[in-house]
Amino acid sequence: MEYIIFDDSRIANFYPLTLTRPVFDLRSGILKLRQRIQGYMGIQFNKVIIADYLESLYRERHPDWKINEITGQDTIFINSRLQINEKLVERINKLPPNSCLVGPTDILAARFIPDTVYSNSQEIEKLFKDKAKILLPEAKCWNYPWELITANSEYLLRDYEDFFYEKDNKFETELGITVINPYNLWIGEGTMIKPGVVIDAQKGPVVLDEEAIVLPNVVITGPVYIGKKSIIKPGSIISEGTSIGPVCKIGGEVENTIFQAYTNKQHEGYLGHSYLGEWINLGAGTCNSDLKNNYRNVRVYFYPDGDRVDTGNQFIGAVIADHTKTGINSSINTGTVIGVGCNLYGQNLIKDFVPSLTWGEAPNFTDYNQNKFNETAALSKQRRGLGYSEAEMELYNKIRRIEQTI
């Protein structure tokens, strides 16, 4: 049996985050969506269907993966947006040939022998048209980035119980460190926790992954995940619902926020109910609002509609895509969406929607020069000992066109 995780045409629902990655590489809780599917299914597989504009980059990053390649074998296709659980695993494994599991609006999974050797996320649904449909109305898929934010505390708890609770735990703390409910604390090998740190895991688990560093006088209130080689700066407050991916540097006050990876928020300033991609740098004093003064639901820019939509939530902060930078003391309004590769500064409020590769001070933005952006992106990665490849440059050079073509 072959297994393939596929992104479908709803990838644009998650723009600008999925302008530079598949949906299945978005983080929610401790894991990325594909990691959770793999964990529940209990199998290792490296076959994926992604958007055509990501194909070159992902072939370069994952040379051992089969990307958009299909073999003529009995295959189970699994939607990367599926909110997987044990019941769904059972239903997927029992799928009869030439059939699909269907939710209220989405193909959840399918099993058949394909008669094509190539597909991508824009075309994948054509393969399911003539298959028998098995309705599963209670099953859910992720549909919007703000759903990942609002469900993050829940998925931190689930991932801890399902994937971390019984893993080898290097739990060991020095004098001067306060831990409330140590049974809910998981510490990876090589993690360093300095004196004065308070870890409150009473309401939810705290996972400090391998080689994470927590500097003096930090307060962490679970559920929280701090990824491999990430650093929490002195005096920081990391509150419940926060997931920090690998190799981030985080300071100030953070609540219910997801950091994909390689992102810096080193200084004072509040960040709440937000989703940040990779290679982002927030200047000292950058703050965001995550609650409107009238307590009404937050509206957020939604790419497929070209307009803001009601999220149904009172608390939504910002969605900020890869390689975006803010200057010191920048202020970001409730429900702001900022695209890829922006460089924003000044005292005026950043609000609503900022397209990719935008430069300047609100509201008088201009286009960010493509060559200057590429130079900065290369330098950002060079500082971490990483290169800026031709495939990356090719993708970023066409970001504006991808963003505008839905």
Q: What is the pLDDT of residues 271-290, one digit of tens each?
A: 999 999 999 999 999 999 99
CA distances (Å), origin 172, targets 20, 30, 208, 289: 38, 21, 12, 37
For residue 297, the 8-state DSSP code is P
Backbone angles phi, psi at 323, to 5 degrees: 65, 20
Q: Does domain 146-404 have CATH number 2.160.10.10?
A: yes
pLDDT tens digits, residue range 237-248?
Answer: 999 999 999 999
Backbone angles phi, psi at 332, to 5 degrees: -115, 125
Q: Average pLDDT, whole number, for the chain?
A: 96
The predicted pLDDT at position 231 comes to 98
Which pair of tokens denotes residue 75? 């295959």
Q: Is pLDDT above 80 for 45?
A: no
Q: Is pLDDT above 80 for 99?
A: yes
User: What is the location of CATH 2.160.10.10 in the chain?
Assistant: 146-404
Q: Is pLDDT above 90 for 21?
A: yes
Minimal CA–CA distance to 61: which of 4, 113, 22?
22
The predicted pLDDT at position 260 comes to 98
CA distances (Å), origin 142, targets 108, 128, 138, 160, 363: 11, 20, 13, 20, 33
Predicted confidence band of residue 44 (pLDDT cuts 50, 70, 90)? confident
CA distances (Å), origin 88, targets 7, 34, 265, 285, 399: 18, 15, 38, 45, 36
Q: Which CATH number fits domain 2-143: 3.30.1240.10, 3.30.2350.10, 3.90.550.10, 3.40.50.300?
A: 3.90.550.10
Q: Is pLDDT above 80 for 103?
A: yes
Over range 305-319, report the average pLDDT. Answer: 98
- What strand order describes the sheet that includes 270-272? 178-180, 198-200, 219-221, 237-238, 253-255, 270-272
The predicted pLDDT at position 172 comes to 74
pLDDT tens digits, residue range 334-382?
Answer: 999 999 999 999 999 999 999 999 999 999 999 999 999 999 999 999 9
Predicted confidence band of residue 258 (pLDDT cuts 50, 70, 90)? very high
User: What is the location of CATH 3.90.550.10 in the chain?
Assistant: 2-143
Predicted confidence band of residue 167 (pLDDT cuts 50, 70, 90)? confident
Task: For the chain, give the percent of residues with pLDDT over 70.
Answer: 100
Predicted confidence band of residue 206 (pLDDT cuts 50, 70, 90)? very high
Q: Is pLDDT above 80 for 100?
A: yes
